[in-house]
């Protein structure tokens, strides 16, 4: 069975129409943050198993950035929201 993502703008589409950017959890440090804070932000990522929130772009459709909540073990998608509406892009 093909993995499907329900784009809020284009409807349900196959995952091949999307590009994943990665984890939506990291918060960008301020411009005046320490070198250590920037190092952690740029280079260190957790890699949890299970339910995660990620940034995806609908490259073969509306080209909007989306926040996708999914299980990275089973690939089940729980929710999809426009990242701009959620303040995430």
Q: Is the pLDDT of residue 71 over 90?
A: yes
Residues in a beta bridge with 80: 68
Residue among 19, 18, 11, 38 at smallest CA distance from 27? 38
pLDDT tens-digit series, residues 3-31? 899 999 999 999 999 999 989 988 899 99
Predicted TM-score (pTM) of this structure: 0.82
Residue 87 tokens read as 């303040």
Residues in a beta bridge with 20: 56
Residues in the chain: 89
Q: How many beta carbons lie within 10 A of that of residue 22, not counting itself?
A: 11
The domains found in the chain, sorted by start residue, are 1-23+48-89 (3.30.2270.10)
């Amino acid at each position: 069975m093909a993995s499907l993502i329900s784009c809020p703008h284009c409807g349900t589409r196959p995952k091949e129409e999307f590009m994943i950017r990665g984890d939506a959890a990291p918060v960008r440090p301020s411009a005046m943050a320490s070198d250590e804070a920037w190092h952690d932000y740029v280079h260190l990522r957790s890699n949890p198993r299970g339910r995660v929130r990620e940034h995806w772009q609908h490259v073969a459709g509306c080209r909007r950035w989306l926040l996708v909540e999914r299980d990275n073990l089973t690939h089940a998608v729980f929710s999809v929201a426009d990242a701009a509406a959620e303040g995430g892009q």
